[in-house]
Structure 1
Amino acid sequence: MTEPVSEGPAGAGKVSRTNRIPQWALVGAAVVVLLVAAYLLLRFLSTEDVEVDGLPEHPVTPAAAADGSIQIRTENPGVAQVLLDGRHVGVQQQPGKLAVHAQSPPDGVHRLEVITPRSVSWLGSTSTTREFTVDSEPPQLAVEDSLRPERLGEPVTVRGKAAGAAQVTVAGKPVVPRPDGSFSAVVDRPDREVQVVATDDAGNRAAKTMTVHIKHPGMRAVHMTGLAWTSGKLREPVLEMARQGRIDTVELDIKDESGEIPYDSKLPEANRIGAVKNYYSAREAIDQLHGMGVRVVGRLVAFKDPVLGEASWREGHPERVVQTSDGQPWTGGYGGYAFTNFADPAVRQYNIDVAAEAAELGFDDVLYDYVRRPDGGIEKMRFAGLNTTPEAGIAEFLRQSQTAVRSRGALLGASVFGISVDRPTQIAQDIPQMAKFVDYIAPMVYPSHWGPGEFGVAEPNSAPYDIVRRSLAKFSEAVAGTDVQIIPWLQDFSLGAEYGPAEVGAQIDAARDGGMPSYLLWAPNCRYHGDALVPQG
């Protein structure tokens, strides 16, 4: 406010007077400012610099609070106290920091507190707190167990729902889930299995493996050895059966019981050990049969392989051969070095390489035989490197094989003993385990190979229909729910009883009546009773 103007001395003009702040007030204000500045400076100098790493904004797994992932950085870690939800927790001191090693906290919100003394002791301590959420529940992933493309190599669409997931991968490729968690993805060239993984913000994972089942197109097949295929007298009748529509598939040896590879294989290891015999050109045989509309199956005798066995033993690799309990090569009536060790990685790879080459050449299927251990007392045998059951080891070999075969455009089958359906440990062929990794099982249900009374049949060799029908029913039960087909080996030879068109036809009828229209005929001399086969198409 301005006071009234008064007249001053002459010539001095007009003077305005204002209110003035008392001196004591100015001094008081200056003191207050100095005290506040001193306090702030003292507090700044006495505060510990504390940083907490390893606690993101999103939830974390219980392990994050227990395995040292949470780290506290401070100038004096040795004097800091760490509390979790008000209780002291264990820490590991490291240069300039502390790693928290608490017991895994339960799901929910938690409070981490770090208490450190101030530099000026009479000012007490300072506290730094962080809140975080623990989540141990994985996303809820729902997909089908199986994928069923019509043909090998066709794309498949994977659909599912992953509630609570931040990310989904299908066959290794990321897929963004919709707000409700649903997702879909196309896999252009699926292998035997497609894995789906859902991950939430905390890092919890839920994974499921979907099996890709290919429906086998079916076959009415006869077997031919490599040498038989080179003989016009044996090959021409088979081709004539194909022309008449009596068969639609020929099975050719690609590695036989002697360990020989009869076709013109280019595999370096097979050629080095002398296994390749070049009896026939695989490419020419496949082209000829495909030109007639006939499928071609390659029979690959896996672990009965005296060529590989002897070469391995001679070259200082006894672990690749099945041994007796005293470390000698197992014979068991099969001959020296006859059985290679299915648990050995090099043995497995050798067979997989043959299978892969055959698939690349154009064989429609690769059908393993002797995919087993030797028969006999297992307590007398030694399998170097086997760290599981023999049955699981055989199944694992098939798992490794299928990717190599499937990725090259062929299907995979496994020939098995008839007794394997209810006596899996006798030769290490567990049908449910094997069925996970093949497209079809080919049981050898030859009537002559069953003993009296099997499956309630008094004389199996004299009752081909009954023994085949009843034994295959057991195999059908063994693969129930797997989508794997049963394609039986049937007998076209005489052993203990005379077999002709009627007996061969009875077996085919038994398989068909049991819902199995496909079959493979076996004749050691590669001469077949074509009259037993009904022309089709």
Structure 2
Amino acid sequence: MTEPAPEGAPGPTKPSRDNGIGGIPQWAVVAVAVIVLLIAGYVLLRMLSTEDVRVDGLPSHPVRAEATADGSIQIRSEGGGSTVLLDGKPVPTTPQDGAVAVHAPAVPDGSHVLEVVTPRAISWLGSASTTQEFTVDSAPPELQVEDSLRPEKLGEPVTVTGKAAGADQVTVAGEPVRPGPDGAFSAVVDRPEREVQVVATDLAGNRAERTMTVHIKHPGMRAVHMTGLAWTSDSLREPVLELARQGRIDTVELDIKDESGEIPYDSALPEANRIGAVKNYYDAREALDQLHGMGVRVVGRLVAFKDPVLGEASWREGHRERVVQTADGQPWSSGYGDFAFTNFADPAVRQYNIDLAAEAASLGFDDVLYDYVRRPDGGIEKMRFAGLRTTPEQGIADFLRDTQTAVRSKGALLGASVFGIAVDRPTQIAQDIPRMAKYVDYIAPMVYPSHWGPGEFGVDDPNTQPYEIVQRSLAEFAKAVEGTDVQIIPWLQDFSLGASYGPAEVGAQIKAAQDDGMPSYLLWAPNCRYHGEALAPQQP
């Protein structure tokens, strides 16, 4: 039995619910301890772990081999001082915008490992590494398309079909097309240019490109040539119109720039008017409307590089580079006259002719047919062509390529008149037939019997054997353009030079061309008078 405490003595102490320190509640002590432990743990983890590392430029899909060398792979880490290894070997890096860019040598196709070794915050704890696997693929997609497109008419839509195995995207004439699972694709080009570009790209960025040439099948022609002045003469123009009414011809060729450098129609080209080339002998709009109204096609003859008007103006104004020169810097003449030949390699000369061709196409000429699209004949070692950076043959072909693009865009076709000897002697006048055939819609060889020497193609006297020389020479031209879509439309002779030519001789040449599978032709008569009886009427 416990005795009661004396009066005034303190009573028994009750157990305290607060076991804290210095009056701080226990729960607060515990909370602080937890926070300290968390901070300590975080610091310890930071010391034991690598710095934050980010690798940019390595997507999950394959990359090209150049990706390891061009700096597109970049490493970003907070601490810096990282070492980069590629397949276990150190690679060079350079600072770039707060990161380091990798400049390793290009690596072969296949799987690779990029490793970033970063020192820990405390040196005695060593370093840590971050790795990323990636695949290199430098093989372009396998792109398969035809070489050519063959619409029936100029300006008609074309359908491009093909297969691009391994491609992620295909573009046709600049427009994207999504290939199917097997890479097959199809696209319609509403208004194709002279060429249609097809590009296939895979996820790595590898490209495969193909250029498809648009070849237009020429509708054919049975044509006669008329100079600008001849067209203004009733006595010369009316017989030609009558040939058209009778169905003996279906095309008239009119000069738009002749060998004198004159432009006989009312051209609006500023440069042509400035140098005095425009003569306004005939109204182009009126002539085109009349002939088209009769259902007759119109071809514009454009003499390109034999141009005394442009040549003399260029020389006089200090642009001597625009004229073909002799080795001692004088204008090349060689029987053609002073300043006769302009320089086909000069950009201004080329553009002048291209602008005339484009204007004629805009006016409504159905074709533009170049003449004198060549260098002067003679020893090339004695000539100088300022600015020529390639062979003369390639320079002429490049000029045709540029013209065809301009002419096609205006709705016309392009042809090139060539010497007969060009078929087997391309360097004599810079007319390489297979090369030129890539950039024109037809080749018009001048196979006039009077222009061949004895024994050519096994013909003893070509001028008195019109059938034989035309048939054999055109057969060689057919071989020269095999594998292309270009047509051969020959110039035939309707004039007498060394031998008398009449309906029989003209008819023999036409038959020779037909026997070679060439039903089209152009007749040349310097006086613009033609033997219509040699031309068989054809029903529309």
TM-score by length of 1: 0.92
Cross-structure match for 2:245: 243
Output the CA distance in 1 between the equivalents of 2:291 and 2:435.
33
Cross-structure match for 2:120: 118
Cross-structure match for 1:5: none
Output the CA distance in 2 between the equivalents of 1:401 and 1:29.
87
Output the CA distance in 2 between the equivalents of 1:145 and 1:310.
43
Cross-structure match for 1:9: none
Which residue among 234, 237, 240 is the counterpart of 2:236? 234
The alpha carbon displacement at 1:429 in A equals 0.5
The alpha carbon displacement at 1:326 in A equals 1.8
**190-199 vs 469-478, which deviates more?**
190-199
> CA separation of 1:356/1:164 partners in 2, compared to 1, >3 Å: closer, same or farther?
same
Cross-structure match for 1:50: 53
Give the share of equivalent positions with the same residue, in percent: 81
Cross-structure match for 1:357: 359
The alpha carbon displacement at 1:31 in A equals 9.0
Cross-structure match for 2:376: 374
Cross-structure match for 1:447: 449
The alpha carbon displacement at 1:90 in A equals 2.3
Q: Which amino acid aligns with 2:56?
A: D
Residue 59 in structure 1 maps to residue 62 in structure 2: yes
For residues 11-47 of structure 1, the C-alpha deviation after alignment (integer angstroms, 9 at most, x for no partner) is: xxxxxxxxxxxxxxxx999999966752431342674
Cross-structure match for 2:76: 73
The alpha carbon displacement at 1:92 in A equals 2.7
Cross-structure match for 1:12: none
Cross-structure match for 1:329: 331
Cross-structure match for 1:291: 293
Residue 506 in structure 1 maps to residue 527 in structure 2: no
Q: Which amino acid aligns with 1:388?
A: T
CA contact (8 A) 1:75 1:96 kept: no
Match runs of 1:76-225 below 5 Å: 77=80, 79-94=81-96, 96-225=98-227
> CA separation of 1:95/1:518 partners in 2, compared to 1, >3 Å: closer, same or farther?
closer
Output the CA distance in 2 between the equivalents of 1:121 and 1:28.
33
Residue 494 in structure 1 maps to residue 479 in structure 2: no
Q: What secondary structure, in the 3-state scheme, does the structure 2 residue paired with 1:436 have?
A: helix
CA contact (8 A) 1:76 1:96 kept: no
Matched residue pairs, number?
510
For residues 172-208 of structure 1, the C-alpha deviation after alignment (integer angstroms, 9 at most, x for no partner) is: 1111112221111111111111111111111111111
CA contact (8 A) 2:142 2:166 kept: yes
Cross-structure match for 1:317: 319
The alpha carbon displacement at 1:75 in A equals 4.7
> CA separation of 1:75/1:40 partners in 2, compared to 1, >3 Å: closer, same or farther?
closer
For residues 351-400 of structure 1, the C-alpha deviation after alignment (integer angstroms, 9 at most, x for no partner) is: 11100110111101000001111111111111111111111111111110
Q: Which amino acid aligns with 1:71?
A: Q
The alpha carbon displacement at 1:91 in A equals 2.2
Q: Which amino acid aligns with 1:340?
A: T
Output the CA distance in 2 between the equivalents of 1:361 and 1:206.
39
Q: Which amino acid aligns with 1:65?
A: T
> CA separation of 1:29/1:124 partners in 2, compared to 1, >3 Å: closer, same or farther?
farther
Q: Which amino acid aligns with 2:59?
A: P
Q: What secondary structure, in the 3-state scheme, does the structure 2 residue paired with 1:358 have?
A: helix
Cross-structure match for 2:16: none
Residue 342 in structure 1 maps to residue 338 in structure 2: no
The alpha carbon displacement at 1:51 in A equals 2.2
CA contact (8 A) 1:373 1:427 kept: yes
Q: Which amino acid aligns with 1:63?
A: E
CA RMSD of aligned residues (A): 1.8
**311-320 vs 223-232, which deviates more?**
311-320
Output the CA distance in 2 between the equivalents of 1:314 and 1:93.
59
Q: Which amino acid aligns with 1:480?
A: E
Q: What secondary structure, in the 3-state scheme, does the structure 2 residue paired with 1:481 have?
A: coil
TM-score by length of 2: 0.91
The alpha carbon displacement at 1:98 in A equals 2.1
Q: Which amino acid aligns with 1:425?
A: T
Q: Which amino acid aligns with 2:159?
A: T
Output the CA distance in 2 between the equivalents of 1:413 and 1:212.
15
Q: What secondary structure, in the 3-state scheme, does the structure 1 residue paired with 2:439 have?
A: coil
CA contact (8 A) 2:50 2:129 kept: no
Cross-structure match for 2:394: 392
Cross-structure match for 1:459: 461
